[in-house]
Amino acid sequence: MIRIENLHKTYRAADGREVRALADIDLEIGSGEVFGIIGRSGAGKSTLIRTLNLLERPTSGRVLIDGDDVTRLDREALYALRRRVGMIFQHFNLLDAKTVAQNIDWPLKATGHGNAAARTARVAELLALVGLSEHGHRYPAQLSGGQKQRVGIARALANRPRLLLCDEATSALDPETTQSILKLLLDINRQLGLTIVLITHEMQVIRTICDRVAVIDGGRIVESGRVVDVFLHPRHPVTRSMVAQSDPLAAASLDPAHAYMGERLRGTLVRLTYLGDVTYQPILSRIMAASPVQITILQGEVSSIKDVPFGQLLLELEGSEDDVRQVFAELDRYRIHHEVLQ
């Protein structure tokens, strides 16, 4: 659906200095995917997402959406593209002087969508989709942040886009409202088969709804892959620090010196990670039954990222070198990844 090839963006700042915001970006995003772009402040996230609908024009490189190079579209084609690409924003960007229903109607009116009755019916459908059927007559100032973002989503979907861009869409919301907006986005992705590209600085957002993620730093993609793989085995220091901030267990195992150094540890400190069906099998108890090695669980998490179950455990193993090696061989046999931390 989206192909980004060798994309570069350089801004010229007010003092004439050149600021390189993006360099060597190559990305492919499939139809129906929820794709996250994460990075620290100033990494280039906003610039990158805004090149997808040409709110920002790249300095060089190509952005193909459904095979069309958006950097080469004429005015009319660009206008048509923006109808196929919806966008929501951190601060909602609603029209304060218009009601909720008028805000949602606005893109329909602008694109000459049907007559007034057809538009009213479409607005009602969109209000129901985002759970605001009772609120069409209200003004944005009378809504909570979460409700405002729901209006933003309804407005972005009005012209039935195939792609939705989310620019820090939950950054202004509290954690509970964030979860409800992410759930709505996921429902919409599933119901409508809509492709979603989002930018965020929060790993928790990525974990909750994304299939794949790219980590951007200094304008370059430094790591990318399936969310569950990047989350369990972050390689780049920026990714490691973002994962650690989002999850206490990851923090401890990525930097075990913090949590487990000291006299308390008698054996070998090991981190296990595993995915898929193996998550729900009693493998550890089988290994324990067959081995003299003493296994202490220090910390653990069994959860899922999207539909992929995973587990990660911090264990202390006490036993002879040979017996511990035997435990590692058994873990390998069950495709449980192990890392000796200390």
Ligand X SMILES: Nc1ncnc2c1ncn2[C@@H]1O[C@H](COP(=O)(O)OP(=O)(O)OP(=O)(O)O)[C@@H](O)[C@H]1O
Q: Which residues bind ligand X (CB under 6 A)?
A: 11, 13, 19, 21, 39, 41-47, 201
List Cβ neighbours of 102 (8 Å cut-off, separation of 6 or more).
95
The least CB distance from residue 206 to ligand X, in Å, is 14
* 223 versus 316: smaller Cβ distance to ligand X: 223
DSSP string, 145-173: HHHHHHHHHHHHHTT--SEEEEESTTTTS
Helix axes 321-333, 283-290, angle to 10 degrees: 150
The DSSP output letter for 1 is: -
Backbone angles phi, psi at 34, to 5 degrees: -110, 110
The DSSP output letter for 54 is: T
* 98 versus 201: smaller Cβ distance to ligand X: 201
**CA atoms of 148 and 102, how far apart (whole Å):** 13
- Residue 11 Cα distances to 8, 18, 64, 219, angstroms: 10, 6, 22, 12
* 41 versus 115: smaller Cβ distance to ligand X: 41
The least CB distance from residue 245 to ligand X, in Å, is 15
The least CB distance from residue 17 to ligand X, in Å, is 9
Tokens read off for 185: 């986005």
The least CB distance from residue 164 to ligand X, in Å, is 18
* 218 versus 319: smaller Cβ distance to ligand X: 218
Select from 191, 98, 190, 185 the least CA-distant residue to 150. 185
The least CB distance from residue 25 to ligand X, in Å, is 12
* 47 versus 224: smaller Cβ distance to ligand X: 47
The least CB distance from residue 104 to ligand X, in Å, is 27
The least CB distance from residue 185 to ligand X, in Å, is 19
**CA atoms of 8 and 193, how far apart (whole Å):** 30
* 42 versus 114: smaller Cβ distance to ligand X: 42
The least CB distance from residue 62 to ligand X, in Å, is 19
At 13 the three-state DSSP class reads coil
* 105 versus 223: smaller Cβ distance to ligand X: 223
* 57 versus 72: smaller Cβ distance to ligand X: 57
Helix axes 116-129, 100-110, angle to 10 degrees: 130
Element (H, E) at 287: helix 283-290
